Chain A
Amino acid sequence: MKDSADSYQTADGRTIGPVVMEMKNITLRFGGVEAIKDISFDIREGEIRAIIGPNGAGKSSMLNVISGFYVPQEGEVWYKGARRPVMKPYQVAEQGIARTFQNIALFEGMSVLDNVMTGRLPHMNTGLFSQSFWKGKAEREEIENREVAEKIIDFLEIQAIRKTPVARLPYGLKKRVELARALAAEPSILLLDEPMAGMNVEEKEDMSRFILDVNDEFGTTIALIEHDMGVVMDLSDRVVVMDYGKKIGDGTPSDVRNNQDVIDAYLGVAHD
């Protein structure tokens, strides 16, 4: 195991940095149900980290803990070398953690561009007053933000739907718009909740390429939840496997693939 402060090179020449986020002994309960039981793992800078597991394993809960939406009863979240206090989701977002949702949460009546612009909110500092008059600083800020948004629109190749209301888009494109909005925040960590759920093969290929490109071009650290094992194994550097709220495996895709507990969880064995 590499030391948490070290960097290393992957086989395809990418540099994976030191640990940027660490989950320490996280336990999350909803009443009497333990959704997450004493789980620890870390995310390194610049890596693509996958969280996999059968339905109800607690993957989305884990992502919600990272994004600050759920507060675990036990355990600590360490981010950039310091313990993170309990925070509101928007405060987490301001720290540079952006996410997409499993069941698309876009503003359906707004255009793609406007949706992407909302991702720039953490970067807008002018007050209501100057925004209303849209002079000087507010105008400059809007132009800067629009520039970032447009670069992302270009990057994700959604120029043709820039002005289209989101409600009129097919599912696969909505997913891409959601990714665009998350990227607009220029996050250091990007959380993707089932980015490829419900997509056909071609859309999955497109999305995989965009995830790799984002990681490559912007150096964004990516944590993703995914069901499609093929996709996970191809994309990710390291994989955490969860089952019934417990961590049953953690390592490179090939480690995980050969792990007996993981095979059991996916193929199913009698639980006694």
Chain B
Amino acid sequence: MAKPLTRADGPASVPALLHRNAQEFANAPAYREKEYGIWQSWTWAETRDEVEALALGLMELGINEGDFIAIIGRNRPYLYWVMMAAQMVGAVPVPLYQDSNAEEMAYVMDHCGARFAVVGDQEQVDKIIEVQDQLTGFEQMIYLDPRGLRKYDHSALTQYSRVQEMGRENREKHIKEMEARQAGLDYDSTGVMLYTSGTTGKPKGVVLSNRNIIETAKSSCAFDDLRQSDDILAYLPMAWVGDFIFSVGQALWAGFCTNCPESADTMHVDLREIGPTYYFAPPRVFETQLTSVMIRMEDASRFKKWLFDTFMAHARKVGPAILDGKEVGILDRLKYRLGEIMVYGPLKNTLGFSRVRVGYTAGEAIGPEIFDFYRSLGINLKQLYGQTEATVFITAQPDGEVRSDTVGVTCPGVELRIAENGEVFYRSPGVFVEYYKNPESTADTKDAEGWVATGDAGFIEEGTGHLRIIDRAKDVGKMADGSLFAPKYVENKLKFYPNILEAVVFGNGRHECTAFINIDLTAVGNWAERNNIGYASYQELARHPKVMDTIQSHVEEVNASIAEDEMLSGCQLHRFVVLHKELDADDGELTRTRKVRRKIIAEKYDDIIGALYDGSGTVSTETEVTYEDGRKGSIKATLEVRDAKVFADNRKKMAAE
């Protein structure tokens, strides 16, 4: 068999890596999937055979070099194999989000002109059939699960296993051509095309080359010492760059095993059964897990609860230090050991984290308590910062230097630059080739020297070299004295308190920062119940003096923590109000995904903002609200404006001296 082109220092394409693994790790598990209650597994050698059969079948169906293959479905080994088979025949895989609706799918498939689509089940088949007429050049659909599809017109619809059969039957006919196409692959050939989620405007197709994929996988595997014996659970959308890099890029490079859950609902059971050693989850997942642990502990017997509270307090004290390999007294170590046996071990087992060596979270800010909870248990949870255009990795936290407020140091091979306005730029071997059929956007994002704008503002911490992201660059402003104004940074800090649901910080172009705060009715209501404080409505609870006191103490704690940060100490909150109504998407104050719409809020509550800056102690206001059934009404209220203590600003003090 002709070997695919290999560079001097290793395989140069995804199929080449697969061939390497099929030889080097022939009998090691490559993919597992739970089906019919049992973990079915495929070794690397078996995987290669399956992928080859599929690739040959695609040849029989008439796939050409440069064709695009859309891949839509939940994480299954079969769909990962399509990614590899596509490259074997010189085509480009394009994984799509399985929950996108028919129109979104139509846009993407038409934009890349996909000729083939490999889909999971009837649901996806139906979506494509619905929009098939709008697609130019679309020809064949291949499906995995035949359920419900028996009576469909099968002239352009083939079952996956049938395609593989066709491949095996016609091996002789196509093998030469396929090997020639594989041999033509090099570091610059396109490995995959991933569409950005398109929160702003239409989705853009990010073209990643074999160089991007392999170089990133190589350096990130070295960074975290990922090995062939590792296990990951593939449960995040296949269309997301992270899943592609973890489950295809790194899995192929290191040769570790990718495990696919039985269904979305069984994820937690499957997680426990597999016990991954390398795990990724967005902060939301860690948050939900922590909440469910806490709720279950509330219902536990008093002895168990005592045991949990005692040892968790100890874990919080010394756990992170032990994990970072710092000096910890012998008694504390012994007590931690005991805790491991009594509490931490069983808890980690329940959560499915017993074997986690490297855990990552990214995507948004994670609450420090949540982060510390997992780390104190001895789970090596870290943060990374990345994006599709960088093939994920820009910065990551090395072992032993983990904190909840930074996103780590630059990954191997990545260069960082902070622009005048605070925007973060990077350059690395992982930088994407281009946006497909969109040279203007490519030019806007990537300059001639290969620097890419992230759209995020941040700074590099002196001394440690860690990057800290403060906000989206377009939201960051300047205060009247020229210091940095980063509203979301402050809002996130406030929102980490369970009592605070939403916060809006003002101060762009002004001398001081101020804030609107929404209390969390569940958390504060619960507190009120326990303390026998009666209330009839959100409004009444929100202006209760004790609630105001609590919120004030939260604001002051936030101020204290911001004051330690010389870049941002100007963002301390001088005054705040607790709003008389919850900010609501129905009133246009939030987006449907619960993001604050600053401009609309600023216009609507103009009078309250006025009071925040003119020194008055109270403000009367009337607000129009939209009820759920669409009727409109108005709320009248008198709000108390409170002053919050601000802390010494190191920078200004020095200037004064």
> Does any Cβ of A come within 8 Å of B150's Cβ?
yes
Find out whether the CB atom of B147 lies under 8 angstroms from the CB atom of A213. Answer: yes
> Does any Cβ of B come within 8 Å of A64's Cβ?
no
Please report the C-alpha to C-alpha distance between residue A160 and residue B38 in the assembled complex, in whole angstroms. Answer: 13
CB neighbours (8 Å) of A157 from chain B are 263
Task: Tell me whether A150 and B148 are in contact in the complex, defined as CB-CB below 8 angstroms, given that A159-B266, A160-B266 are known contacts.
Answer: no
Find out whether the CB atom of B35 lies under 8 angstroms from the CB atom of A13. Answer: no
Find out whether the CB atom of A159 lies under 8 angstroms from the CB atom of B147. Answer: no
Find out whether the CB atom of A213 lies under 8 angstroms from the CB atom of B263. Answer: no
> Does any Cβ of B come within 8 Å of A205's Cβ?
no
Find out whether the CB atom of A154 lies under 8 angstroms from the CB atom of B36. Answer: yes
Interface of B is mostly: loop
Q: Which residue of A lies closest to B148 (CB)?
A: A213
Task: Tell me whether A150 and B263 are in contact in the complex, defined as CB-CB below 8 angstroms, given that A213-B147, A213-B148 are known contacts.
Answer: no
Find out whether the CB atom of B37 lies under 8 angstroms from the CB atom of A217. Answer: no
Find out whether the CB atom of B148 lies under 8 angstroms from the CB atom of A159. Answer: no
Residue of B37, B150, B265 touching A153 (CB-CB under 8 A):
B37
Please report the C-alpha to C-alpha distance between residue A160 and residue B37 in the assembled complex, in whole angstroms. Answer: 10
CB neighbours (8 Å) of B151 from chain A are 12-13, 216
Which residues 143-167 of B sit at the A interface, judged by CB distance below 8 A? 147-148, 150-151
> Does any Cβ of A come within 8 Å of B269's Cβ?
yes
Find out whether the CB atom of A151 lies under 8 angstroms from the CB atom of B147. Answer: no
> Does any Cβ of A come within 8 Å of B262's Cβ?
yes
CB neighbours (8 Å) of B262 from chain A are 159
Residue of B147, B148, B263 touching A160 (CB-CB under 8 A):
B263
Please report the C-alpha to C-alpha distance between residue A216 and residue B122 in the assembled complex, in whole angstroms. Answer: 14
Find out whether the CB atom of A150 lies under 8 angstroms from the CB atom of B37. Answer: yes
Find out whether the CB atom of A216 lies under 8 angstroms from the CB atom of B148. Answer: yes
Which residues 237-296 of B sit at the A interface, judged by CB distance below 8 A? 262-263, 265-266, 269
Task: Tell me whether A147 and B147 are in contact in the complex, defined as CB-CB below 8 angstroms, given that A159-B263, A159-B266, A160-B269 are known contacts.
Answer: no
Residue of A151, A216, A217 touching B36 (CB-CB under 8 A):
A151
CB neighbours (8 Å) of B265 from chain A are 159-160
Find out whether the CB atom of B35 lies under 8 angstroms from the CB atom of A154. Answer: yes
> Does any Cβ of B come within 8 Å of A37's Cβ?
no
Interface of A is mostly: helix
What does the 1/0 interface line of A101-144 toward B look like (CB < 8 Å)? 00000000000010000000000000000000000000000000
Find out whether the CB atom of B37 lies under 8 angstroms from the CB atom of A159. Answer: yes
CB neighbours (8 Å) of A162 from chain B are 37
Q: Which residue of B lies closest to A12 (CB)?
A: B151
What does the 1/0 interface line of B133-148 toward A look like (CB < 8 Å)? 0000000000000011
- B260 CB to nearest chain A CB (Å): 13
CB neighbours (8 Å) of B36 from chain A are 147, 150-151, 153-154
Find out whether the CB atom of A216 lies under 8 angstroms from the CB atom of B35. Answer: no
Find out whether the CB atom of A216 lies under 8 angstroms from the CB atom of B150. Answer: yes
Please report the C-alpha to C-alpha distance between residue A159 and residue B265 in the assembled complex, in whole angstroms. Answer: 8
Q: Which residue of B lies closest to A212 (CB)?
A: B148
CB neighbours (8 Å) of B37 from chain A are 113, 146, 150, 153, 159, 162
What does the 1/0 interface line of B9-44 toward A look like (CB < 8 Å)? 000000000000000000000000001111000000
- A149 CB to nearest chain B CB (Å): 8
Please report the C-alpha to C-alpha distance between residue A150 and residue B147 in the assembled complex, in whole angstroms. Answer: 16
Find out whether the CB atom of B147 lies under 8 angstroms from the CB atom of A217. Answer: yes
Please report the C-alpha to C-alpha distance between residue A217 and residue B35 in the assembled complex, in whole angstroms. Answer: 19
What does the 1/0 interface line of B330-351 toward A look like (CB < 8 Å)? 0000000000000000000000
- B276 CB to nearest chain A CB (Å): 19
What does the 1/0 interface line of B616-647 toward A look like (CB < 8 Å)? 00000000000000000000000000000000
Count chain A CB atoms within 10 A of each CB in B37, B150, B263 and give the residue with the most.
B37
Please report the C-alpha to C-alpha distance between residue A12 and residue B262 in the assembled complex, in whole angstroms. Answer: 32
Q: Which residue of A lies closest to B268 (CB)?
A: A160
Q: Which residue of B lies closest to A150 (CB)?
A: B36
Q: Which residue of B lies closest to A149 (CB)?
A: B37
CB neighbours (8 Å) of A213 from chain B are 147-148
CB neighbours (8 Å) of B263 from chain A are 157, 159-160
Q: Which residue of A lies closest to B151 (CB)?
A: A13
What does the 1/0 interface line of B403-424 toward A look like (CB < 8 Å)? 0000000000000000000000
CB neighbours (8 Å) of B269 from chain A are 160, 163
CB neighbours (8 Å) of A217 from chain B are 147-148, 150
User: Can you report 6 A-B residue pairs in the complex whose CB atoms are below 8 A from each other?
Assistant: A113-B37, A153-B36, A159-B37, A163-B269, A216-B148, A216-B150
Beyond the given A13-B151, A217-B147, could you list 5 further A-B residue pairs with CB under 8 A, ordered by the A residue number? Answer: A146-B37, A150-B36, A159-B262, A159-B263, A160-B269
4 tightest A-B contacts by CB?
A160-B265, A150-B36, A150-B37, A160-B266
